[in-house]
Chain A
Amino acid sequence: MNRYMLNSIKAEAIKQHKSVYHSNLMYFSMLIWPVLELFSAYYAYKPFEGTAASEIVAKWVGDDMIFAFILFGYISFIFFRCFVQSAWRFSSERISGTLELIYQTPANRLGIMLGNALASLFESTWMFMVFCIGALVLFTNLRISSIFMPLVAVLSLVIPSICWGIFMNSLFMFSRDSGMLYTVFQSPMEIFGGAKLPYPAFPFWAKVIGGVFPLTWSINIVRKIFMNGALLSDIKFELLVLCAICAALFLMTLLLLKKSEAYARKTGNMALF
């Protein structure tokens, strides 16, 4: 990593953090919404108790674990969503005119994307910690095989979500219309990623859609670690797929950054919004 890369990461992470967390209250207020969402997701099951839908879930996770199942699915989902939102925020710099100013400097483009993701990592990790501690207190029937495995869970959230974040960021660099991608990626990720329903219960076509999102695999890993006491050998396959997806996302990011800058220099679209 060269000097420009490091400085760009640092500059962007600090800037992004400062412009979002301008008050300490933010740290708590940002928890309110996910907590509400979590409960609404859980109570969405309630009316279906005893029906086919809840049986699907019960069949895969066991009756007593439904809330834990939803909780771990949800916090993984929220972990990723932070990155997507920050990419979304970054795309608004097109409007404020600062995007052009960034591209006018010799800053390392990948560094900027990474710095931006790093700022949301801070947000994600904070939420994740609060929720995890809550889960450990709330559920006594969680099975964790060793103290080392939660660390694996955290890593399999952190690395893929950063890759996902920089990929989204670089997509947004392409044009103002990529805002639509937010909708295109966000809802399928929520539905087919298996945050609310067990992935193995999906029909084949839904599995295919879900399978391309790194979130899907991260959720599986997190649940297996916290709920089934999985060891490394139990999640080999998921880890492998996740690594492959991350590598692909990273390469695509590099490509998109190169292409989008060249395209902007041709069309002048960086100033359009």
Chain B
Amino acid sequence: MLIAKGLKKNYTSKVKTGFLKSTTKKVEAVRGLDLTIEPGSIVGLLGLNGAGKTTTIKMLSTLLEPDEGSCAIDGLDLVKDAFQIKHMVNMIAGGERMVYWRLTARENLEYFGRLYSIPKEELKSRIESLIRFVGLQERSEEAVEKYSKGMKQRLQIARGLINDPKYLFMDEPTLGLDAPIARDLRRFTKSLAKEQGKGILLTSHYISEIEELCDYVYIIDRGLKIMEGTPKEIASIVANCTNKYKIKLNVLPDKLRGQFETFMSTVQSEFQLEEVDGGIEIDVSSHKDIQSELISMLSQQSKIISFTAMEPKLEDAIITLSEVKNYEQVHA
């Protein structure tokens, strides 16, 4: 079991203020994160750009040292026992980098395998089975530069599994992949957890990916955890905190308009009105589910031509949640 407690990481970077002059700027990338990954489970880490996902993964894979907090992986300490931990974890990132393009798939895997000092015979058979697992057997003797994006990504997965890690950290592994290849990758990921019992941490921008794969999800924003739960719970909270409706009416009498505007302000929702051919269009965005209230109010004095409830977006939910969190912090 991987248990992280209160992980913190600040970056200090130099900002040029003039020729030969600079000040240091502190970025609080991760601000006290608790996280648990059980073997055989897939845990999602969700957040917008710059939320601190990659930083978290780099801390867990020993590339960054946490400023504060601790992490125990199967009883070993992330910092003190880094050498042993390196044998137990690995990281896979999206994109085409991170393999040697001039080498073949097999040579790439041999290289990384040797860095882990895996005994020769064991390494040989492991490379065979990994190449088969990711379906590269026909092209394994070809230089990687001739591979397609998806094949490079599959090699990347094989590379991430070369030390047979108990815990695998995947940083946006489906970045830039076509839907069918992304689907393959999700299938791999699932079987790694469910059949091989690996503990997996997965970061993603896509809520659908997280919903499909994860057993448990953490949502972070600007280095802080704003929510955690099962994908079902997350999805319902997301659905609840961002509701967008597109309504078309044939007329909007003044009386109804007044009534509508008061209602909008009592539920703290925003709206936009626009006159279009044959009626009026209203865009509503609300933190509460006000679908039935809207319909009953509007249909009394006008005719609803169409009413669309938009699919909730994770981005909106995160923004809303962090607003709520900030509000709570300020008013605590």
The chain B residue sitting closest to A100, CB to CB, is B63
In the complex the two chains form, is B114's CB within 8 Å of A101's CB?
Answer: no
B107 beta carbon closer than 8 Å to chain A: yes
Interface residues of B in 64-118 (CB under 8 A from A): 64-65, 83, 86-87, 90-91, 93, 95, 97-103, 107, 110-112, 114-117
In the complex the two chains form, is B87's CB within 8 Å of A106's CB?
Answer: yes
B residues at A contact (CB < 8 Å): 11-12, 55, 58, 61-65, 83, 86-87, 90-91, 93, 95, 97-103, 107, 110-112, 114-117, 143, 159, 163
Q: How many A-B residue pairs have CB under 8 A?
A: 84
Chain A nearest Cβ from B68, distance in angstroms = 13
In the complex the two chains form, is B64's CB within 8 Å of A268's CB?
Answer: yes
A27 beta carbon closer than 8 Å to chain B: no
Interface residues of A in 1-18 (CB under 8 A from B): 3-4, 7-8, 10-12, 14-15, 18
A40 beta carbon closer than 8 Å to chain B: no
Main secondary structure of the interface of A (DSSP, over half): helix
Chain A residues, CB < 8 A from B98: 96-98, 100-101
Q: In the complex the two chains form, what is the Cα distance from A200 to B159 in whole Å?
A: 54
By Cβ-Cβ distance, the 5 closest A-B pairs, closest first, are A11-B114, A107-B115, A97-B97, A19-B102, A105-B115
A265 beta carbon closer than 8 Å to chain B: yes
Chain B residues, CB < 8 A from A4: 117
In the complex the two chains form, is A106's CB within 8 Å of B97's CB?
Answer: no
Given contacts A96-B97, A100-B98, A105-B163, 19 further A-B pairs with CB under 8 A are: A3-B117, A8-B114, A12-B111, A14-B110, A14-B111, A15-B103, A18-B102, A19-B100, A96-B100, A97-B97, A98-B100, A101-B112, A104-B61, A104-B63, A105-B116, A265-B62, A266-B64, A266-B65, A268-B11
Chain B residues, CB < 8 A from A112: 115
A residues at B contact (CB < 8 Å): 3-4, 7-8, 10-12, 14-15, 18-19, 22, 96-98, 100-107, 112, 264-268, 270-271
Q: In the complex the two chains form, what is the Cα distance from A53 to B101 in whole Å?
A: 49
Q: In the complex the two chains form, what is the Cα distance from A3 to B115 in whole Å?
A: 10
Interface centre among B65, B87, B114, B143 (most CB of A within 10 A): B114
Chain A residues, CB < 8 A from B115: 7-8, 11, 102, 105-107, 112
